[in-house]
Structure 1
Amino acid sequence: MTDQRDPWAERTVEMPPGEQNPFRRGRAQVGPARPADPAQPHIPTGTGWPGDTTSIPRPVFAEELRLFRRGAGVMLIGALFSFVCWGLWAISDGGNLGTPVALFVLTALVALGLYALARVVGRVVLEKQLGRVRRSARGAHLVTAVFLAGVGIAYLRQIDWVVDAWSWFARMF
């Protein structure tokens, strides 16, 4: 009996005694190799010629969506920080909220445009120029998160009590 701790033992089936072994020892019969016909054209398989880096197969939509989600948490944190800072600025400003809401919607649209631009640049540079496969959207998410964090800091710099608190804290050190 074989020791079950061997890695191949779990894939090996012991034959019960008295049964005829359906397997034969020997070599598999392989037909002669067919010569390549130079008259037949290359049949494209979607991956291009060997060594060709210009045609990288695109992933299916589900895979694209999974790749999109990698790094989305960083952008979500940046968007949340920007939203909280915008809310503090809108409340401390007082008055009508129409202009601040329109300004935040415009900021969100610029952030989406920046994300799309970062994805396009990543596709052109990484996939087309360098021939690499992108495995996530982390770079585009990070660029957008840095932009949104900068927008949030810009909102905070427009609030008087935050600027006063920062000045007081800076004078202490």
Structure 2
Amino acid sequence: MSDQPNQGQSWERTVEVPRQDVPPGSDVPLGPAPFRRGVAQVGPRPAPTETFPAAGDHGPADSGWPGAHHDDQHRPRMPLSYHMAQLRLGSEWSIVGGLFAFVCWGIWAISARGDLTSPVVTFVLTLFVAVGVFALSRLLGRVVLERQLGRVRRTAKGAHLATAVFLFGVGIAYLRQTEWVMGIWNWFGSQF
């Protein structure tokens, strides 16, 4: 039997260790090998047998053939709750941008003094476009950061920031269409 244990072999063994008497005034026990409770004797590690390809060698993962191994296939699938928590990180940017766009839209809609059907439809379409900006930002992040650069994204802060910038731009566009706001802006600009 070799020194290397079989993988199927059980590690649960009880070994009787004879008690070694220590002479008075001596720290070293008598006997062939000192035994201390709670300290395991560890032998040297065997040399690794795995070989690594040299630079420039291409394996099946680099071939592009169907069935080739890719890193995405070997990563464990994360539960939906993990992905939802990841999407929530950074959502304060989108919320602030959405509130700014909503307030600016409200000022524009009230200033129009007419039927609110058209302004409501306009704002709903704006929100759909903002969701599209968020989805496009996430897709670009997946393609560029994860696939091309091999980085792992742990939050959605970049996509939320892009969505917030879009919503701030929409809010400013609503304000620029409001006559009295532009009048105040022009007056303020002429004073300085």
Distance in 2 between residues matched to 1:93 and 1:26, nearest whole Å = 82
Shift in Å, 1:135 = 1.2
Q: How many residues align?
A: 140
TM-aligned CA deviation for residue 70 of structure 1 = 1.1
Structure 2 runs not aligned, ≥5 long: 1-35, 50-60, 62-68
> Using a 3 Å threshold, how does the CA distance of structure 1 residues 25 and 149 change in structure 2: closer, same or farther?
closer
Task: Tell me the amino acid that sits aligned with residue 27 of structure 1.
Answer: Q
1:136 aligns with 2:155: yes
Of 15, 22, 27, 2:41 maps to: 27
Shift of 1:24: 6.0
In the other structure, the counterpart of 1:9 is none
Q: Does 1:86 align with 2:129?
A: no
Match of 1:120 in 2: 139
Q: Which residue of the other structure, out of 168, 175, 180, is the alignment partner of 1:149? A: 168
Give the letter aligned to residue 72 of structure 1.
S
Stretches (4+) displaced over 3 A: 22-26
Alignment match, 1:165: 184
SS at the partner of 2:78?
A: coil
Q: Measure the CA separation in 2 of the matches of 1:120 and 1:26.
A: 52
**TM-score normalised per structure 2:** 0.64
Note the 1:20-99 alignment, pairs <5 A: 23=37, 27=41, 54-55=71-72, 57=75, 58-99=77-118
- Identity percentage of aligned residues: 50
CA 1:61–1:165 in 2, change beyond 3 Å: closer, same or farther?
A: same
Q: For the structure 1 residues 24 and 143, does the alpha-carbon distance in structure 2 shift closer, same or farther, using more than 3 Å as the test? A: closer
TM-score by length of 1: 0.71
CA offsets 1:56-109 (integer angstroms, 9 cap, x no match): 725332221221111100110000000000011000001100000000011000
For residue 25 of structure 1, report the CA deviation from its aligned partner: 5.3
1:110 Cα offset (Å): 0.5
Q: 1:24 to 1:103 in 2, by over 3 A?
A: closer
**CA distance in 2: counterparts of 1:130 and 1:88, whole angstroms:** 44
Distance 2:126 2:38 in 1: 73
Change (3 A) 1:53 1:103: same
